[in-house]
């Protein structure tokens, strides 16, 4: 099949593209290569993708809606997997307009491109952040998500609502995926595992918020990729019987799922796994809770399992080990260049 993947130089986009290319699909990747984090890391991911003859990269900003529409209508994509976004909760307090640009205008441009090209299925990234102030765990997809605690979360919730309006108005099949703390090789430098590894190896202190009293439903990248590929082949049908829809489904061609491990880990335990793999103790700098953060995340994965038959498989010990091995070999290579 022919896929359009937005955010292809990003962590999840790169890993997804690589798997699709290994399976001999044709992939067009777009990314604006922004400087939110190390552009060298994004370029290294892209260098790997460009070794595949059936991959094509277009340096493009998703807010350039005219070019997005031309791209979608001129190429015959079977699937659009939309992952490009301004990610990160804390940065949304510093630079809120970056979120309005990429996550609202950019998302709209992708919706427009998909509807004009009559794309068979748009799969897009939402986030566990949409659960905001809720304290009902595990997070079932049908609990209300009306109280986000960061602008990032508010834009991701908006993405779901915008997708619903396009599914309703234009019969565009859309599936939103609420990802839960994704980690693994080629991961993001602004996320905990990357920051902790870097600091521990450099004998620098690590910042631990809410005195470590936080838990996260860490989900390994390979489990996310497998989930995205499986769900992209399950096109939401119209369901006229569903006149009083739950929030994650609708009478329209619209679905939402959690993709998470379903097994939250205390931050302190996560750090202990990392310390034992690195053979070094972290210097811990305990800090209060950060604005925009939530205490816990935990995915209810039953809906996702019932449609895909898939549950995440990779344990924290295996996943963190894979990350550490990648980190050490990648940065040894980079430092020798
Ligand atoms: N990694 C996680 O734990 C996590 C959790 C929940 C949701 N998500 C969502 O999953 C998606 C992928 O996340 P990621 O971790 O791979 O992040 P990432 O930052 O590594 O990847 C996003 C990519 O999109 C690109 N991009 C950003 N704005 C763009 C624009 N306007 N035009 C074109 N390209 C643009 C960036 O350059 C980057 O390469 C995002 O939508 C993110 O919000 C991620």
Residues whose CB is less than 8 angstroms from the CB of residue 140 and which lie 6 or more positions away in sequence, other chains included: 300
Is 135 a residue whose pLDDT tops 90? no
Is 45 a residue whose pLDDT tops 80? yes
Give the closest residue (by CA) to ligand 1 atom 34.
31
How long is the chain? 337
**Per-residue model confidence (pLDDT) at position 333:** 83
Determine the distance separating the centroid of ligand 1 and the alpha carbon of 235, expressed in angstroms: 23
- Give residue 284's Cα distance to chain centre: 28
Q: What is the pTM of this model?
A: 0.97
- For the question of residue 152 being annotated catalytic, the response is yes
From 131, 152, 183, 253, the catalytic residue: 152
Residue with tokens 């993405």: 159
Give tens-digit pLDDT for 195-233: 999 999 999 999 999 988 999 999 999 999 999 999 999
Is 33 a residue whose pLDDT tops 90? yes
**What does the radius of gyration of the chain's CA atoms come to, in whole angstroms?**
19
Residue 332 pLDDT class (50, 70, 90 cuts): confident
Determine the distance separating the centroid of ligand 1 and the alpha carbon of 87, expressed in angstroms: 5
Rounded distance, CA 126 to CA 105, Å? Answer: 15
Taking phi first (over 0 means left), then psi (-120 to 50 degrees means alpha), and beta for anything else, what does residue 123 get? beta
Determine the distance separating the centroid of ligand 1 and the alpha carbon of 84, expressed in angstroms: 5
Residues whose CB is less than 8 angstroms from the CB of residue 151 and which lie 6 or more positions away in sequence, other chains included: 92, 93, 96, 99
Name all residues whose Cβ lies below 6 A of ligand 1: 7, 9-13, 31-34, 42, 61-63, 83-87, 102, 106, 125, 127, 179, 181-182, 188
């Amino acid at each position: 099949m022919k896929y359009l993947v937005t955010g292809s130089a990003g962590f999840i986009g790169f890993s997804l593209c690589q798997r699709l290319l290994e399976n001999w699909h044709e992939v067009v990747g777009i990314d604006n290569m922004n400087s939110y984090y190390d552009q060298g890391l994004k370029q290294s991911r892209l260098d790997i993708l460009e070794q595949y003859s059936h991959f094509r990269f277009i340096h493009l900003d998703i807010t350039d809606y005219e070019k997005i529409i031309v791209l979608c209508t001129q190429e015959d994509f079977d699937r659009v997997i939309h992952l490009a976004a301004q990610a990160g909760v804390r940065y949304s307090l510093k630079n809120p307009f970056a979120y309005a640009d990429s996550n609202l205008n950019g998302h709209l441009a992708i919706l427009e491109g998909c509807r004009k090209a009559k794309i068979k299925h748009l799969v897009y990234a939402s986030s566990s952040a949409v659960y905001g102030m809720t304290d009902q765990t595990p997070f079932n997809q049908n609990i209300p998500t009306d109280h986000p605690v960061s602008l990032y979360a508010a834009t991701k919730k908006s993405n779901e609502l915008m997708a619903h309006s396009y599914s309703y108005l234009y019969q565009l099949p859309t599936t939103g995926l609420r990802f839960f703390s994704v980690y693994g090789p080629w991961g993001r430098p602004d996320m905990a595992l990357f920051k902790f590894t870097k600091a521990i190896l450099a004998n620098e202190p690590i910042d631990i918020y809410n005195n470590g009293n936080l838990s996260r439903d860490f989900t390994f990248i390979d489990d996310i990729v497998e989930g995205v590929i499986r769900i992209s082949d399950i096109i939401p049908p119209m369901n006229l019987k569903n006149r009083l829809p739950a929030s994650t489904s609708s009478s329209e061609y619209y679905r939402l799922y959690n993709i998470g491990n379903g097994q939250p880990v205390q931050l302190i335990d996560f750090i202990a796994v990392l310390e034992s793999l690195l053979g070094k103790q972290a210097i811990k700098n305990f800090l209060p809770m950060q604005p925009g953060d939530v205490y816990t995340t935990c995915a209810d994965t039953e809906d996702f399992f019932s449609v895909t038959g898939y549950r995440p498989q990779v344990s924290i010990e295996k996943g963190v080990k894979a990350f550490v091995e990648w980190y050490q070999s990648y940065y040894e290579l980079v430092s020798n260049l």
